Amino acid sequence: MRKRKLGSSDLEVSAIGLGCMGMSFSYGPPKDVKEMTSLLHAAVERGVTFFDTAEVYGPYTNEELVGEALAPFRGQVVIATKFGFDLDPKFDPRRMKDSPPALNSRPEHIKQVAEGSLKRLKVDVIDLLYQHRVDPNVPIEDVAGAVKDLIQQGKVKHFGLSEAGVQTIRRAHAVQPVAALQSEYSLWTRTPEKEVIPTLEELGIGFVPYSPLGKGFLTGKMDENAKFDGSDFRNILPRFAPEARKANLALVDLLSRIAGRKQATPAQIALAWLLAQKPWLVPIPGTTKLHRLEENNGAAAVELTPDDLQEIETAASKIAVQGARYPEHLEKMTGR
């Protein structure tokens, strides 16, 4: 697996990372801990060095899984985690889709969360600590200042933001350099291209696209008739309504056409397209299956020519993606 640097920071990671959320949270019931531990070990063995988790995934159980599984590989891997929610110990994750916990990025709370994450991840220092969602009640300068304190104390190495707008990014970066922004980006969610990506390029900030396979849709393995478990987050996403899925299959058809020519899969083309956008961009597809992990990693070896990229661009520009990516109460937490 090739390596990439996230922006102008010294944070070097595998060109494709691994999003760990679905192992414990959001996409149906939590998966077997032993199986997921084996999968995390397999990822390291195959050259993945960048792993993404958050305290809210579970809550807490995903950090515990990742921390325990990756304990033998300290110093070889980079683990990113996130703060930003007010987690009541009694919080039921099944309520997340209807009423997520309140945002909380008060400096004292950030420092409490970091201590908890350090213990659950079994590390002395957090490689990359993101603000999970921008808290409108706390000036971003205070947030950046709190993480700066943690960096100076040797508890955190790098500061990140997630789903932040360009003014927030600039204001945070002026207080504590931002190493990476994590936001949704793929062939069916291209919002960051207009303002965010040029800002990241200007400031030397890396980009970590989450849901680079459109929460599984761009793999070509689901159509309008696909059914999800009752606890699956996708049940409430407008873009996953049956009629929207049917319309959006045009994107999958495009990926399949290129994939057939390249002896690749639609998922590999979707990831290769992302990798071709910027050299400081590192997607973090999530999976709970070894064969999907290997398929995703294989995207790093797929070369898309300028002609291929132009063909994808021309065809994609004629496809109007149907359905919002989040319901309104979650959408309003992005782009602040």
The pLDDT tens digits of the residues spanning 91-136 come to 666 666 667 899 999 999 999 999 999 999 999 999 999 999 999 9
In this structure, is residue 23 part of a structural domain? Answer: yes
In this structure, is residue 332 part of a structural domain? Answer: no
Question: Residue 260 to residues 182, 253, 257: CA-CA distances in angstroms?
Answer: 31, 11, 5
Question: Residue 6 to residues 9, 108, 201, 265: CA-CA distances in angstroms?
Answer: 6, 28, 11, 26
Which residues, listed in sequence order, are joined to residue 50 by a DSSP beta bridge?
78
Handedness of CA 282, 58, 105, 150 (dihedral sign): negative
What integer pLDDT is reported at residue 152 of this predicted model? 98
- CB count, 10 Å around CB of 317? 9
Task: Name the H helices within 71-225.
Answer: 107-121, 140-152, 166-175, 196-203
Query: Beta strands 12-14 and 3-5: pairing type?
Result: antiparallel
In this structure, is residue 225 part of a structural domain? Answer: no
Residues shown for the chain: 336
In this structure, is residue 163 part of a structural domain? Answer: yes
| Count of the separate structural domains present in the chain | 1
In this structure, is residue 227 part of a structural domain? Answer: no
What integer pLDDT is reported at residue 129 of this predicted model? 99
In this structure, is residue 321 part of a structural domain? Answer: no
Q: Which amino acid is at 207?
A: F
Contact 251, 187 (CB under 8 A): yes
What integer pLDDT is reported at residue 231 of this predicted model? 86
Residues 6+ away with beta carbon under 8 Å from 73:
44
163: left (phi over 0), alpha (psi -120 to 50) or beta: left
CATH of the domain at 171: 3.20.20.100
To the query of whether residue 60 is one of the catalytic residues in this protein, the response is: no
What integer pLDDT is reported at residue 95 of this predicted model? 67
What integer pLDDT is reported at residue 223 of this predicted model? 85
In this structure, is residue 30 part of a structural domain? Answer: yes
Contact 172, 147 (CB under 8 A): no
Share of the chain above pLDDT 70, in %: 97
Which position among 27, 57, 130, 210 bears the catalytic label?
A: 57
What integer pLDDT is reported at residue 96 of this predicted model? 65
Domain that holds residue 293: 3-215+274-302
In this structure, is residue 139 part of a structural domain? Answer: yes
10-residue mean pLDDT profile of the chain (336 residues): values are 96 98 93 98 98 96 98 97 88 67 96 98 98 98 98 98 98 98 97 98 98 96 90 92 95 97 98 98 98 98 97 96 94 95
Contact 9, 275 (CB under 8 A): no
What's this model's pTM, rounded to 2 decimal places?
0.97
Structural tokens at position 169 = 């990014």
Task: Name the H helices within the chain.
Answer: 33-45, 61-70, 107-121, 140-152, 166-175, 196-203, 242-262, 266-277, 290-298, 306-316, 328-331
